[in-house]
Structure formats: C-alpha cells, structure tokens
Structure 1
Amino acid sequence: MTCCLNPDCQQPQNADDVEFCLSCGTKLTVLLRGRYRVMRPIGQGGFGRTYLALDDDRLKARCVIKQFSPQIQGTKSLEKAVKLFEQEAVRLYELGEHPQIPALLAYFEHDKRLYLVQQFIEGNTLLQELSQNGVFIEQRIREVLAGILPILKFVHDHQVIHRDITPSNIIRRKFDNKLVLIDFGVAKLLSVEASNQPGTKIGTEGYAPIEQLRSGKAYPASDIYSLGATCLFLMTQVKPEDLYDPLEGRWLWRERLREKGRAISEPIAQILDKMLKDLVSERYPSAAAVMKDLRTALSSPPLVASSIGGAMRSSGVANASSPSSSASRSANRSPVSQPSVGQPSVGQPNLSRPNVSQPGANQVHAAGALPSKPPVSRAPVSKAPLSRQPVSGSQQWHCLHTLTGHSRWVTAVAISADGSTIASGGLDDSIKVWDRSTGELLRTLTGHHKPINCLSISPDGQTLVSGSDDDTVRLWHLASGNLLRSLTGHTRDVSSVVISTDGQLLASGSEDRTVRLWNLATGEMLRAFSGLAGMVRSVALSPNGQFLVSGGLDNQIKLWSLKTNEPVRTLPNGHFNSVNAVVIAPDGKTLVSASKDKTIKVWDLTAGAVVRNLAGHMDSVNAIAMSGDGKFLASGSSDTTIRLWNLETGTLSGSLTEHISAVNAVALTADGKFLVSGSSDSKVKVWQLG
C-alpha cells in the first residue's frame, strides 16, 4: 500500500501501482526523501499527521514520521507553530541517545511541508494499559515513579522542561518492559529568563500545573507536578481536575481510593502530595529530590487490598489492584519484586551540539543554582596524575596540561599550526586563549552574547574565527585579542567554521540550513549554498579549493563545487544519524565523517564510496581531527573518550580516558604531536605524543 501524504485526505491508503490518490487526487510519494516508505496514519493533531513508516536504508526498520501542516490562521500563529515543530527536532537531538527517549533520525522539508523522523517505540501507553487492565495498584505506581524520575533528571540536567507529561506520553516498551518518555513537541529550555518570563500557555488540562496554564512559566517542579497528576489518574481512573476541591484547596484522591476499598502506603502518599503542591516553592525542586525520598519509601512494602472485608494490609507482593478479573490481576503484577531508583543508567549525553539558546550566565541547574561566572584572570593549570595511565594502545600520549578556566561545558577548541597557541570556547559565552607550552591563560575574548560552538585558526596563526548561537561569525586578531569584524547573514546558530589551507576562504555552516563562503581578509560574503534539508553541523573545504563538504541533522553528506556553486553529489549509504563532523585529507581524495550513530566513516571522494568504517565508540562521535599527513585521526565522543586511529589501516592506536564527561571538540597540530580536547566537564586538556 502507498499512503497519501495530503493531511486532509480522508482515505489515504492506495494500492502500490496507483500514481495519484484515488480519494483526493494528490500525486503519491512512494519513498519520502527516497528512503521512507509511509505505511499508514497513526495520529492526527492541529499541526498535521503522524505516520508509521519503514526506512528502506535501515533494513526496513519501522519509524515514526511527524508531518507538519498546521491548520492555523494568521502569520504569528503559524510562525509559533513552526517554531514548536522545529523545537521538537532540536530537543530530541540535544537529549542524545538516552535509551528511554525516542532518538531523532532525520528532520527535513518536502513539498513545502516539514517532516520529523524518529525512532519507533513498540508498546502500549500507560493510558492504554489503564484501559485494558484497570487501575494501577501501588506497586505499579512505584514502578512508574522509579522509571520516569531518572529520565526527568536527565532531561532537566540538559536544561529542558518537558511540559506535557501525561499517561498518553509514557510508553511501556514491549521488548524490555521499560518506560519511555515521548512527545517533546512543547518542551522548553530552562533558564532564568525563560522560567520567569511569560511564555506559551501550553499543556494538557488536569496534568499541567497552574503556573504553566496561567502564565506559560515552567520549572522542573512543573514536570514533577504533571508526573504526580499522572499517578493519580492511573490509581483512580478519574481525571485529575475532578480529584481536586477548589473550595477547600485540597486533593480528594485519598477519599476516592477509600471509596473503592483501596489505599496507599503513607510514604508514597506523602511523596505524591508534595509533588502536587499548588505553590512551586512547596513542591520538590528537582527529580533528584523526589528520587531521594522515593528510595526511602521503597524500603517499606506497598499496601494491597486484603481479601477479608476489604481491609488494608502491608505486603511485599502486589497481587491485586481491586476485586477484578484474573486478567487484571496478572496485568498489575510487578515484573520485578521492587523497583530501584538511582541515577539514569545511561552513558554520557550527546553534547556534540549542546544548543542553549539563552546566554550561559542565565542558565540554571536543575536545583536552581546559578553557575559561577568564568574567571577573567589567569586560570589554574593542573598536571595529569601520573598514576592514572589514561592511554591504552601503541600510541603513547600523556596529558601535558589540564586547563580549568571555563565555568561551563567546553564545546570548541583550536590550535595554531605551529602548536604554540590554543583557543577554547563554550557555554559560558567566552573564548579563552592559552599558551600551549605553559598552559597559561593569555586572554579572554568577550563579544559573543551566546554560547560558542566552533573555532578555527588561520594557517598563518594571525586570525581566530568563532561561530556562536548568536547567529554571528567573529574574526579576532589572535595575538592581541582585538575583534577585527563580525560577519552577519546567518539567521540561526552558527555551528561550524573552517578556513581554507591557503588562508583566503572561510566557510560557515548554520542551523539555518545554509553554508556561507566568505573572503577571510575582507569579510565579504562570496556566496551562500542553500537548499539543504537539515541543519548544518559541520563543513570542510578541500585543500585544492575545488569542493565544499557539509554534514548535518538530515544524516547526509553533500559535496558542492566551488567553481560552479552547484551540488556535485550526496554521498550514498552513509550514516543513519546526524553527521556531526567532516574533514578532508590533505590529498583531497579522502573524506572522514563522524556521526551520532557512533561510527566514523572513511570515504573515497572520487568514487563517492565508503572505504572503511571505524567502530568502537559507545556513544555519539562529536568531533574529529586529522594530522597534516592524513595518516592519523583523533575522535572525541559522548562516551567520554578520545580514540586515536591509524587511517592507513583503519586500526585503533589508543584511547585517552581522562575526561569525565562528553568530549565535544578535538584539534591536532599539523605534525600530529599535540592534541587538544574540550569536554562537558568544563576542562580543556592538552596532550603530547611521546
């Protein structure tokens, strides 16, 4: 069957041999984007339809495609709707590959509509479980809390508030019985400004707290409220708004349970009561705070209904939800004797592009504490502990310096061709310039008012180029720190900058889905390459000045001719997740790409084919750097490691393991003897070979 993509079509299913929809006459798309075979609609809302599809490039794996085609009147309303849809793509990407959050697979435009492709989660929502099996007993409520709270901690730690936690947005995944949190379409970045300023009044009635519905403000405590309301509905099968007495200002859920001859242990009841306080200040401030109390509560057994007179007794086994059928009892039986609550059992989050839209100084942690301002004086330098032995493999590297001047994640590093000077930038909105040999902080460059995403130093060591969330590219005199000029033209975050080997051209890639080419000496924009389907994550220029390469959120790598300004080809059979980094070898014949799919690919540019795959990272590969002879590669990953590769053989030469959080950026000197890395542990490390 071929599914019609017209969101207004009433009968979208068509036979495979039909060219135009038999119902509405729309021309049918057999393979969306040349790879996604749309099977059938599975949902519809104000913004368009959601479809079940098969990905032909991934062995026909099932995926979910969200189509954006809003039925909204007015320019402002439409712009807001577009922003919300794009926001879901960004949020899913930023939250990385947490095993209990659907992964973003692609985001693109087709036939004047936007599409978002994400991982398909097979299973029932908690609302479906409630409908099929009846109300949740206490044991299952404990499992919901123990399953969702670590996910919320992960989300809040990434400065995001979900804002729509309901039984419909929690799925119990079929293959492992774990709970998965879905639908980040109304998620909101957490910052001082965002949480205290009026925003969009959005959320589901009954589950959204008063501050969210009344003024659009949202906090981590807002999600905690929604989770508490979800638990009430699962226990009572009564809408949360019908469980609250506005005249007395109190919840009635305990009375409803007693009416049905059921109860809940006092420790769990007190946790739910605190989660559901009207005042934000009286609720738990963070998921971690709830988890702390939940650990204590789980040490006591849940209450279940006694078979004698409906009295309540404590039991370590949850064997009944109510005097219901055996099927209901079986469905409510816990798959484990007792849920455990702890830190999220996942690797380091993907921080290849930790996009924070507000200035770093305004960011807050989940508990609400403001990070300290970065020091502007000389930063301390610490030597790597000799006993740590962070290097494995034949290439013997050691940590020369650990530079600790940044107050937040380091997301960009660069090193001059002669290896004498290092630049670093991050979420504290600052650029720091260091002396490589001593580790001394030479100066701090300020001017960008949002996080720094990328840095590059010209071959002559004179000019430093930076790209930022503030949509600008800035050129600095490296020796003095003076701002030379600001380049404007991009309309979204600038995610990548690269300077040609002759020092004449500068290329910049942006989330506005364009790549721009500039004259480095004059700042003149020479041309813009547009028409890209996804946000650009990385750009590279061939040493011979013939090609420009881009990789991005659409999982694709594109080659452009600098002579004709036309696209040359899109590399086939590539990555199945976002392309985070691309680099071209000095001979101009080899391309290396790194992806969120945890792999590195080596390409023959002439043939447009993969020569070899470099596998070994356990999480997103965020950055790569190549030596001047094209024989050596360093890669940084969200798995906290740096891996060192022999490109001639494709073998792993060694691993550096001193960072304690995601490695977001790496840079190499031309001779391959010095390596610089930047991490979400807020540190810059300088490594030396030998």
Structure 2
Amino acid sequence: MSDRTAFPQRAVAQLLGSNGPIHAVSYSASPGTYILTGSADRSIRLYNPQPPTPPPAPSHITRPTASALPTAAALPVGRLIQTYAAHGYEVLSLAVAADNARFASAGGDRAVFLWDVATAQTTRRFGGTQHGHTGRVNCVAFGGADDSLVVSGGLDTTVRVWDARSGGGKPVQVLGEARDAVSAVVVAGAEIVTGSVDGRVRSYDVRMGRATTDVLGASVTSLCLARDAKTVLVGTLDSKVRLMDRANGACLKTYADAGWRNEELRVQSVLGGKERFVLAGDEMTSPAAAAAAAGSGGSVEVPATPSGAANEGRIWAWDLLTGKLVARLAVPWGAGGSESRKRVVGRDGKEKERKNVVSCIAWKEGGFGDQFCVGGTSGAVTVFGEG
C-alpha cells in the first residue's frame, strides 16, 4: 500500500466570513477542536470546523479523482464561534497557548496582542511605544514555562521577547543579529529559532547565552520544528523546502518540483501526518503548475486539479523520507464567490487574473492530527481530512 493513501486528501469543510485574504491559521492546542484565522480585514475569527450537521460517512474510501473533488458550493461550512477585533491593520500571525485560554496575534500595526479567549478581550498589548517593533510584526510564538513569554519577529529585523505575566512595557530581551526582516520564529524549550529575509536561520539558546547561524542564501519564508526539535523544516525563496539537522546545520533532504515555484511570496510549509509528509502552499506563479492544473497531466501520479481551474489554489505534499511528491490538491474558492474574485483592472486597463494563492497552513495537533487547513487570497479557509 502506498503512503499516499494515508495523506488526508478530501476537502471536508470551509470556513467563511473574512472580507479579505487570510494571512494566518492556527489550530487550538490538543485536541485541536477549533481553528483561528487572521485576516487582512484586521479581524481574528474562531471556528469549529465541524459543520452543524455532518454529511453521511462514505461507504468506502477511494482516492479522489478530478471529477470527484468537491466544489466550494458542495462543501459544508464550519461554525463561526467568535470574532476578535483590536488590530488596526492586517493580522499576519497567530499563536495559541497550551492551555487554550489565551492566544497571541501580530500584524501590520507593529503590535502584538495577548487575548483572553473566553471574553474576546485583549489582556496585554506589546509594542506601540519606543520599546516596541518599529515595523510590521511578521511572526509570533509562545515560550517559557506555562507559556509565560511571547516572542515576536518583525520587519525591523529584531526578535523581541515579552513577559506575558508582568505589567512592564519593555521586552525582556531583544535579539538584533538579523540583517533583514525576521519572517518566522519558533520556540523549543530554552531555544528560539528564527528565519530571516537575509537567508539565515539563527538558533538562540537563551539559557546558555549562545547563538548559532545557518546560511541558506535565499530568503527564509517559514520554519517548522519537528516534535523532538532535532530537525527544522525551512522554506526559502528559491523554490525549495529543506529539512535541516539542527545539531550540525546539514541539509538532510530537499523538497521541490518543476511545477512548484516559490520565489516571490511568503508561502508556508509544515510537517504533517505524524511527520511523514512535508506540505507547502502555492504562490501560483509557475507556468508548469498552471498547465498541470488545466489537465495537461504531469510526471507524478497525484490527484488532478479539476479542468479549467487554473486559478484555483493548490497545495503540494512530499514524502518526508524519500522526497517524492505524493499529492497535489486543489483548493476551491469560497462558496458563492469571494472578495478576491471581484473584477480588478490594472493600470494598463486590462483585467487582472485573480488567483487563490495558498500562503498559510496549519496541521491539527502540531502535525500529528488527522486534519489540516489552508488559507490564502480567496478569503476562505479550506479544511482537509479523511471524513
């Protein structure tokens, strides 16, 4: 039996309501019942992806074909539980605390907010003073004992560590080694790992006061730590995703395809399926991928994108160990049309082609659950699973 059959390939729900592109998605902490989304419309939304009336379970499971892939109109719609509003600009990153009582958000207003989930109110705002970020905040993560720290990275090239328990307005630590915008940050124990547009992955051991730097060359767009923190998945703007050994900086495996290109936009990549798969979004700039989406075939046997859906979104999945492409899935637009489908005319007077760029991904239970969700320019979040 092929490992491909274990990959969740069925779109099971969509999450609607955003009035702009989705920039961030995150599951609640284990068991991952809920999904948070951050949008260009400055709002954060909490959903239960389980539709009110679940569809009947199929009598048997088969690999979906192009004709069997569900359209947006046919997908069940998840339940909107709460909307959180405090940001003045787009929301770019989300992080959920392990107790599920709090989450952090960051965005274009140079601020990081700490939220109380139950009351839908902010309890802290980090930044907005001379001690905060001076540009948009691209990424945020929790760290420390009981998630007592909030770590943020921004356009101003700094990483700032905030104490979520104290009332002080100053960061407890500022890491300023990056020479360009900090695009990604993850935390494992006493270590903070950052990715930057300067093409470096930096690991800080806060307890030991030690820092190491791995040079990749191309701008780093995303980071995803393995559960044991011994390896990190790094997405870069050279159309490659790499699995790096954190002990010695060696590249263990590279994931790429002629039809997948990532050279312009921040597209996320994550580990999933109990770390058997590498999953990446699609910035929709590859002519080869467009041809494949139009039904011209390809060099790998993967589920086809429906014919005529060249501007629909796509997600790509590779086998972690072999590097072989195991899935290329279509991501439908939101039901009933989407904000991004409105007619837009460029300066040359010609109508711009609207594409569903899939830029953010989250896998349930930190990559070990049975479901994942994706978002992008369509303004809808699509949930994939086995049923």
TM range (shorter): 0.5 to 0.7
Q: Aligned to 2:153, which of 439, 446, 467?
A: 467
**Deviation of 1:395 (Å):** 6.6
Match of 1:588 among 275, 293, 298: 275
**1:416 lines up with 2:100 in the alignment:** no
* TM-fit CA distance, 1:437: 1.3
**Counterpart residue number, 1:564:** 248
Verify: 1:643 aligned to 2:329, yes or no: no
SS in 1 for 2:372: strand
Query: What is the CA-CA distance between 1:542 and the residue it aligns to?
Result: 1.2
CA contact (8 A) 1:600 1:621 kept: yes
Over alpha carbons, which structure has the higher Rg?
A: 1
Superposition deviation, residue 398 in structure 1: 2.0
Cα 1:392–1:464, aligned 2, differ >3 Å: closer, same or farther? Answer: farther
The reply on whether 1:495 has 2:168 as its aligned counterpart is: no
Q: Does 1:621 align with 2:365?
A: no
How far did 1:516 drift?
Answer: 0.9
Change (3 A) 1:458 1:351: closer
Q: In the alignment, is the contact (CA less than 8 A) between 2:162 and 2:172 conserved in 1? A: yes
How do residues 472-483 of structure 1 correspond to structure 2 at under 5 angstroms? 472-480=158-166, 482=168, 483=171
Structure 2 distance, partners of 1:638, 1:577, is 16
Q: How does 1:123-202 map to 2 (within 5 A)?
A: none
Aligned residues: 267
Matched, 1:515 2:201: yes
- Alpha-carbon offset, residue 531 of structure 1: 3.4
User: Aligned in 2, Cα 1:637/1:466: closer, same or farther, shift over 3 Å?
Assistant: same
Tell me which amino acid in the other structure corresponds to 1:636: G
Equivalent residues in 2 for 1:304-315 (5 A)? Answer: none
In the TM superposition, what is the alpha-carbon distance from 1:608 to its structure 2 partner?
Answer: 1.1
| Alpha-carbon distance change, 430 to 568 in structure 1, aligned in 2, over 3 angstroms | same
SS of match in other structure, 2:321: coil
**Counterparts of 1:492 and 1:381, CA distance in 2:** 27
Report the equivalent of 1:407: 88
| Conservation of the 8 A alpha-carbon contact between 1:445 and 1:481 | no
Aligned equivalents of 1:504 and 1:614: distance in 2?
37
**What CA distance in whole angstroms lies between the structure 2 residues aligned with 1:612 and 1:491?**
36
Which amino acid is the alignment partner of residue 93 of structure 2?
A
Aligned partner (choices 602, 605, 612) of residue 317 of structure 2: 602
Structure 1: distance between partners of 2:318 and 2:76: 24
Measure the CA separation in 2 of the matches of 1:449 and 1:392.
43
Rate the CA distance shift 1:604–1:504 in 2: closer, same or farther, 3 A: farther
2: CA distance between counterparts of 1:507 and 1:383? 27
What amino acid is aligned across from residue 246 of structure 2 in structure 1?
Answer: L
Contact 1:381–1:439 at 8 Å: present in 2 too?
Answer: no
> 2:362 and 2:314 mapped to 1: Cα distance?
15
Going from structure 1 to structure 2, the CA distance change for 1:499 and 1:516 (only over 3 Å counts) comes to same
Asked if structure 2 preserves the Cα contact closer than 8 Å seen for 1:543 and 1:586, the reply is no
TM-score by length of 2: 0.62
Cα deviation, 1:227-258, whole Å, max 9, x if unaligned, reads: xxxxxxxxxxxxxxxxxxxxxxxxxxxxxxxx
- Residue by residue, what CA displacement relative to the aligned partner does 1:586-624 show, whole Å, maximum 9, x if unpaired? 733322222312322222111112221222155111211
Q: Is the 8 A contact 2:20 2:379 kept in 1?
A: yes
CA contact under 8 A between 1:487 and 1:523: conserved in structure 2? no
Question: Partners of 1:396 and 1:521 in 2: how far apart?
Answer: 46
How far off its partner does 1:635 sit? Answer: 1.2
2-side partners of 1:559 and 1:588: how far apart?
Answer: 11
Q: Which structure carries more relative contact order (alpha carbon 8 Å, separation 6+)?
A: 2
Whether the aligned pair in 2 keeps the contact of 1:350 and 1:620 (CA below 8 Å) is: no
8 Å contact from structure 2 (residues 22, 375) kept in 1: no
**Relative to 1, partners in 2 of residues 1:451 and 1:615: Cα closer, same or farther, differing over 3 Å?**
same
Q: Provide the aligned C-alpha RMSD in A.
A: 3.1
Q: Give 2:233's aligned residue.
A: 549
1:454 is the counterpart of 2:150: no
Which has more helix, going by share of residues? 1
Given that 1:420 and 1:435 are in contact with CA atoms closer than 8 Å, whether structure 2 keeps it comes out as yes
Alpha-carbon distance, 1:348 to partner: 6.4
| CA distance in structure 1 between the partners assigned to 2:84 and 2:186 by the alignment | 24
Distance 2:213 2:377 in 1: 31
1:530 pairs with one of 191, 203, 215: 215
Query: In the superposition, relative to structure 1, how do residues 474 and 522 fare at CA in structure 2: closer, same or farther (>3 Å)?
Result: farther
